[in-house]
Amino acid sequence: MRVSAYVIHTRPFQDGKILLDLLTLEHGLIRGVWRLPKKEARVIPGPFLCYEIEFVGRSDLKTVKSLESVKSADSLEGLPLYAAFYAHELLEKLLPTNLPLPDVFTLYKWLIESLYSGAPIAPLLRRFEVGLFSELGVGINMVSTGRGESVEPRQLYQFHYKFGLRPYYGETPKQMPMLFVEGGVALDYHAGKWMDKQVLSLAKELHRNWLDSLLNGKPVVSRRLLPKQPFQGERHLGVPIFRAL
């Protein structure tokens, strides 16, 4: 079978072979074994480059028969490189194997091309995370409350991982929320206004906690490569709060 694929991860396997984790357009995330060429021409398949691959096998571990790059390789450096590694780690840890998710392939392709273009990193990653959550069926609802009521721009809400948005009237919550957010900021988040500072700050705090919940606390190691910017804004009851500026 011949498919389009990006190499997400490689690791040694047996002598002359490596294991490949591949994000494919047609089959989602697949894992395969690739026999390296003879030593004088041995090149490990690189990341961020689209390949045409041919594989065989019905088990979860495929045998990759051929692997050809679609175009010449470019290199990412510095923060764009670290951002791409972060995206790879999310794909590895969140995607099921052998499940076609063509929109995730398109989303990843968009991210890599945008990183090559020199676009600002943080908005790209937040948009990528939102798209990934949505495709996996674990999207964040910031347009209505957990009871289905429309979000009001001037109302303050508390956000819980299990219950979503709940109106907040100043009481002491029985269970501390993940964060507090004004309705207008929540709606701007839903609209994808990633260049707005409050929306971007909300998205960073929200997505970090959302990922921690999805991964049951398993660390995202590549976060250490990205700039550390602890939340410096307003807090209420020790919890971050996001209001329209």
Residue 27 lies inside a defined structural domain of this protein: yes
CA pair distance 178, 50, nearest whole angstrom: 38
The pLDDT of 211-227, averaged and rounded, is 91
Environment class of 72 (CB within 10 Å of its CB; exposed 0-12, middle 13-18, buried 19+): exposed
**Final residue in a domain of this structure, among 48, 69, 90:** 69
Count the domains in the chain.
Answer: 2
Q: Comparing C-alpha atoms, which of 94, 123, 128, 93 is closest to residue 110? A: 128
Split at pLDDT 50, 70, 90, the class of 1 is confident
The pLDDT of 195-207, averaged and rounded, is 95
Share of residues in the chain with pLDDT > 90 (%): 77
**Final residue in a domain of this structure, among 44, 69, 94:** 69
Residue 136 lies inside a defined structural domain of this protein: no
CA pair distance 174, 188, nearest whole angstrom: 28
Of 64-73, 89-98, 210-219, give the range with the top mean pLDDT.
89-98
Residue 213 is classified by DSSP as: H
CA pair distance 108, 6, nearest whole angstrom: 9
Share of residues in the chain with pLDDT > 70 (%): 97
Half-sphere exposure of 201 (CA within 13 A, CB side): 19
Residue 73 has pLDDT above 70, yes or no: no
**What pLDDT, on the 0 to 100 scale, is given for residue 124?**
97
Residue 17 lies inside a defined structural domain of this protein: yes
With residue 6 as reference, give the H or E element that holds it: strand 2-12
**What pLDDT, on the 0 to 100 scale, is given for residue 13?**
84
**What pLDDT, on the 0 to 100 scale, is given for residue 90?**
97
Q: Can you name the residues that pair with 159 across neighbouring β-strands?
A: 165, 179
Residue 6 lies inside a defined structural domain of this protein: yes
Q: Comparing C-alpha atoms, which of 36, 41, 39, 40 is closest to residue 11? A: 36
Instruction: For 169-185, write each residue's pLDDT tens digit.
Output: 999 999 999 999 999 99
**What pLDDT, on the 0 to 100 scale, is given for residue 228?**
83
Count CB neighbours of 190 within 10 A.
16
CA pair distance 111, 127, nearest whole angstrom: 9
- Supply 92's token pair: 């590895």
Q: Can you name the residues that pair with 6 across neighbouring β-strands?
A: 23, 50
Q: Which residue has the tokens 């964040």?
A: 140
Residue 81 has pLDDT above 60, yes or no: yes
Taking the CA atoms of 238, 186, 162 and 228 in sequence, report the sign of the dihedral they define: negative
Instruction: For 3-41, write each residue's pLDDT tens digit.
Output: 999 999 998 888 788 999 999 999 999 999 998 877 655
Q: Of 12-16, 180-184, 195-199, 214-218, give the lowest mean pLDDT range.
A: 12-16
Residue-range definition of the domain harbouring residue 161: 156-242
Residue 105 lies inside a defined structural domain of this protein: no
Q: Return mean pLDDT, the chain.
A: 92
Supply the CATH number for residue 44's domain. 2.40.50.140
